[in-house]
Structure 1
Amino acid sequence: MNNSATTRRISKIAIEYNGNDKGTAECIYSNNLLSTTPEERFEEMKIVAERNPNVKKWALTGYISPPREIGDRLPNEELKELALKSLKDVGLTENNQVVLDVHNSTKQKHIHFIVNRIDVYGKCTVKSANIGKRFGESVRNVCKEMNLKTDVEIGKEKKQQMLKVLQNCLKVSRNFDDLVDYMRRCGYRVTLSQNVKEGISGIRIVRLKDINDHTQRQYHPGYKLSEITSKLKIKDIKEILNRNAENHQSAIFSQSNPQTNEIKHPEKSALREIESAMKEMLKPSYTPAADDELLRKRKRRR
């Protein structure tokens, strides 16, 4: 599952954003907070954070975003369990303030969290070192515990499927425009990158249903060709497309020249020879004798 965690100093705007989501956000859990409005919650958290003035970035913020096929079926209670267990692995305790909000306005249901790293006794329980990496590992471990696919497993499956579709589309494409069009028909968007020296220098592939037009975050969804496979390079794709284009031109020329067609397609004459041989094999090997024919006539008379 996609996830993110970072330490920072927040304002009430962060709490407002998590608790709004275009009016569709749902607060499914809070701890050590008496108020319900973003302004009041921010003031509560700030008061506790000031008990440890040495920690400037006193908030841990982030999200967990299951893929759509999982998130649509995942109840809020299980999403809350996933978030809390993952946060506890990186230092969350019962003495920390925390707010969990579920967002549903985008294509993918996901959960946002804000944690006060400073507990009510003034102790910093969530260390900042490698927090993004540690949180990601924690989410993967909890996913396995809950029998949910991890972000690594999901990514691996997506890449395998992308490669399979790409290879099939390459069989019928004669140029990059064809490739982009065939991939789109199969449910994928192909973005081409190019430079002056090499022309097309790379591609990025993403499933159309994974594209989130509503998100405000600027990121590059999908995978680069080098992330999908190490066995297929952009130069290999160019060679395949050029070969397909040449074969197509040869086929057109052959169709306009019957004699050339026989030369270019020897398999056709081979098929005719096989068909002739099969006909010969299917012919009856026993020819009725005259006596046999006379015997059948006598039987019919009886």
Structure 2
Amino acid sequence: MNNSATTRRISKIAIEYNGNDKGTAECVYSNNLLSTTPEEQFAEMKFIAERNPNVKKWALTGYISPPKEVGDSLTNEELKELALKSLKDVGLTENNQVVLDVHNSTKQKHIHFIVNRIDVYGKCTVKSANIGKRFGESVRNVCKEMNLKTDVEIGKEKKQQMLKVLQNCLKVSRNFDDLVDYMRRCGYRVTLSQNVKEGMSGMRIVRLKDINDQTQRQYHPGYKLSEITSKLKIKDIKEILNRNAENHQSAIFSQSNPPTNEIKHPEKSALKEIENAVKELLKPSYAPAADDELLRKRKRRR
């Protein structure tokens, strides 16, 4: 599952964003907060954060976004459970302030969180070191506990399927335009990159149904060719396309100029039939009898 966790200083805008989502956000959990409006919740969090002035980036913010095929089957309660267990693994306690909001405005349901790293006693319970990596590992562990596919497992399956489709499309493509078109028909978008020196120098592949045009975040979905496989490089693809193009041209030439031994000449066939007929006419119509042979021998003696 895609996920993110970052320590930073926030304003009430962050809480407003998480709690709005174009009017579709649903708050599924909050802790140690008395108010319900973003402005008042921010004031409460900031008041607690000031109990530890040494921590400047007092908020932990992020999200967990399951792939659509998984997220559609998850209830809000299950998303909440996934988020809380993952956050507890990186330091969340019952004494921390936290807000969880489920977003539904995009085609992939996901959950956002804001955690005050400073607990009500002024202790920083969520360490910032490698927080993104640690949170990702935590999410994967909780997914296994809940019998959900992890982001690594899902990514591996997607890459294997992408490679299979790419290899099949390469069998019938003669240039990059063909390849992009065939991949699109199979449900994938191929984005090519190029430079002056090498021409086509790379590609990124993403499933069309994984493209989220509704999100405001700028990111590059899908995978680079080097992330999909180490056995097929862009230079290999160029060679395959060139070879396919050459074979196609050879096939066209062969059809328009077939080999001599495959060409049928009606006039030669007719002459051959005449020759065979003449030979048949010149053959004797009977076999010589023994008496005739004896008569010829007597004539020679005379």
TM-score class normalised by the smaller sequence: 0.7 to 0.9
Q: Counterpart in 2 of 1:139?
A: 139
Aligned-pair CA distance for 1:259 = 2.5
The 3 A distance-change label for structure 1 pair 278 and 221 is farther
Whole-angstrom CA distance in 1 between matches of 2:239 and 2:230: 16
Per the alignment, residue 97 of structure 1 pairs with 97
Distance 1:200 1:34, change over 3 A: same
Distance in 2 between residues matched to 1:118 and 1:2, nearest whole Å: 26
Which runs of no fewer than 5 residues in structure 1 stay unpaired? none
* 3-state DSSP of counterpart to 1:88: helix
Moved more, 278-287 or 1-10: 278-287
Question: Structure 1 runs of 4+ off > 6 angstroms?
Answer: 263-302
Cα 1:255/1:84, change in 2 over 3 Å: same
Aligned residue for 1:34, secondary structure, equals coil
Identity %: 94
1:246-276 deviation line (CA, Å, top 9, x unaligned):
1111111111123379599999999999999
Cα gap change, 1:275/1:197 in structure 2, threshold over 3 Å: closer, same or farther?
A: farther
CA-to-aligned-CA distance 1:130-181 (integer Å, 9 cap, x gap):
1000000000000000000000000000000000000000000000000000
Alignment match, 1:171? 171
Q: Normalising by structure 1, what TM-score?
A: 0.86
* 1:210 CA displacement: 0.6
Q: Which position in structure 2 is the counterpart of 1:202? A: 202
Once the two structures are overlaid, the 10-residue window that deviates more, 275-284 or 202-211, is 275-284
Change (3 A) 1:164 1:297: farther
Q: Secondary structure at the match of 1:258?
A: coil
Q: Distance in 2 between matches of 1:17 and 1:175?
A: 45
Change (3 A) 1:246 1:93: same
CA apart distance, 1:299: 63
Task: Describe the SS at the equivalent of 1:264.
Answer: coil
Residue 149 (structure 2) pairs with residue 183 (structure 1): no
Structure 1 residues 221 and 289, CA gap change in structure 2 (3 angstroms): farther
> In structure 2, do the counterparts of structure 1 residues 147 and 254 end up closer, same or farther at CA, with 3 Å as the change threshold?
same
Aligned residues of 1:254 and 1:260 also touching (Cα < 8 A)? no
Q: Deviations over 1:56-77 (max 9, x none)?
A: 1000000000000000110111
Deviations 1:272-300 (A, max 9, x none): 99999999999999999999999999999
- Structure 2: segments with no counterpart, 5+ residues: none
CA RMSD of aligned residues (A): 11.4
Cα distance in 2 between the residues matched to 1:77 and 1:301: 129
CA contact (8 A) 1:255 1:261 kept: no
